Amino acid sequence: MHGVFTRIIDGPLPPMSDDQQHDEDGAELVFHGRVRAGERGRAIVALEYEVYREMAEMELRRLAQEAVARFPISSLHCLHRVGRVDVGDASLRVIIWSKHRSEALQAIEWFIAALKDRVPIWKWGVTAEGDRFPS
């Protein structure tokens, strides 16, 4: 699928499909953001991602469209999980296709920084004892 594709999803990330529609692109850059075992200096077993869904879906799509307009890339797909994500599991997947690697690398750096700044999603740490705290 060319262009942009964005989703906020409640369950695990689906397996990656073998995309055969990018014959003109020499770069396929895949990024997975994973949950670390520590948050704010505390050991955790999971993060719970909280979302302002009505805003976040719009803003995520807007950002992806902005990235495709700003950088010479052909497609950007982004899936962001919300709800509980255990340590070691991926919460975010971004895939960018472009003719060459440099524009994809620049675009992904910009896109993820913008996502962290503008998409209303927040993290709550979950400890082994079951405590939850806003990060």
Partner 1 sequence: MSSAIRVQLRCFSHVKHALGQDVVELHLPLDSTAADVECCVRAMLPQHLSSMVFRLALNHQVVDGSAAVHDGDEVALLPPMQGG
Q: Rounded to 5 degrees, what are φ and ψ at 109?
A: -60, -45
Per CB under 8 A, does 49 bind partner 1? yes
Q: Which two tokens stand for residue 46?
A: 């999971």
Stretch of residues binding partner 1 (CB under 8 A), selected from 11-19, 65-73, 102-110, 113-121: 113-121
The residue within the footprint of partner 1, chosen from 76, 80, 95, 97 (CB under 8 A), is 80
In whole angstroms, the minimum distance from the beta carbon of 72 to partner 1 comes to 24
In whole angstroms, the minimum distance from the beta carbon of 100 to partner 1 comes to 25
In whole angstroms, the minimum distance from the beta carbon of 119 to partner 1 comes to 5
Per CB under 8 A, does 83 bind partner 1? no
Binding stretches for partner 1 (CB under 8 A): 33, 49-50, 52, 54-56, 58, 80, 91-92, 112, 115-124, 133-135
